[in-house]
Amino acid sequence: MKRIAIFASGSGSNAEKIVNYFESSQQISVDFFLTNNAQAGIIERGKKLGVPTIVFDKKTFTRTDKIVNILKKQGIDWVILAGFLWLIPDNLIKAYPNRIINIHPALLPKYGGQGMWGHFVHEAVLANKETESGITIHFVNEHYDEGKIIFQAKCEIAANDSAEDIAAKVQVLEHKHFPEVIEQLVLAQ
């Protein structure tokens, strides 16, 4: 069995889709969620889904090995970032080389970097009058949104789309593709 842990800072809708996708898998299990936000929606989702959630603070995450030690002790093979907003510290990247994956709600390398998350991304895409947006799934390195790209999918932006409309189209792509891409990667290793 390959074991996954999912980090999220917010609602956790992608995390829930991933859990549902692997629910009856004999090869991949989602063992727990981790969040930096004690108010995050992912905590309620975890309760509903029966997935334990670990809440941690910035000092623990950036200045200690506690999170890495928990992941290793639990036998976690892959770390999935699904709407997680903090930079991943060096100790975690070194502990999981090419085993940390992020999803970004735009077509990187455009609209990435610190502060580019959630609605900020869609508002920037709209302001630049882009005719398409999409999702990027990529390996995580020590810089925001700069690791090797694994997968992208696109959606069209209509002339009268709002940022919320773009967000909805992007979310459809995320929910469809993220679990499938994770499955392909994990089973290929």
Q: Residues in the site for ligand GAR, rule: CB under 6 A?
A: 8, 10-14, 82-83, 103-105, 117-118, 121, 174
Show the tokens assigned to 16.
Answer: 């829930």
Pairing of strands 53-55, 28-35: parallel
With vertex at residue 25, the alpha carbon angle to CA 188 and CA 141, rounded to the nearest 5 degrees, is 45
Q: Which residue is nearest to ligand GAR (CB)?
A: 83
Nearer to ligand GAR (CB atom), residue 28 or residue 166:
166
CB 7 within 8 A of CB 82: yes
Nearer to ligand GAR (CB atom), residue 11 or residue 62:
11
Does residue 104 have an active-site annotation? yes
Nearer to ligand GAR (CB atom), residue 26 or residue 55:
55
Show the tokens assigned to 189.
Answer: 């290793």
**Least distance from ligand GAR to the Cβ atom of residue 115, Å:** 9
- In the chain, the amino acid numbered 57 is D
Residue 143: φ, ψ to 5°: -115, 150
- By the 10 Å C-beta count (0-12 exposed, 13-18 middle, 19+ buried), 21 is classed as middle
104, 122, 138, 143: the catalytic one is 104
Nearer to ligand GAR (CB atom), residue 12 or residue 66:
12
Residue of 50, 99, 47, 46 whose CA lies nearest to 72: 99
Host H or E run for residue 168: helix 163-188
Catalytic residues: 104
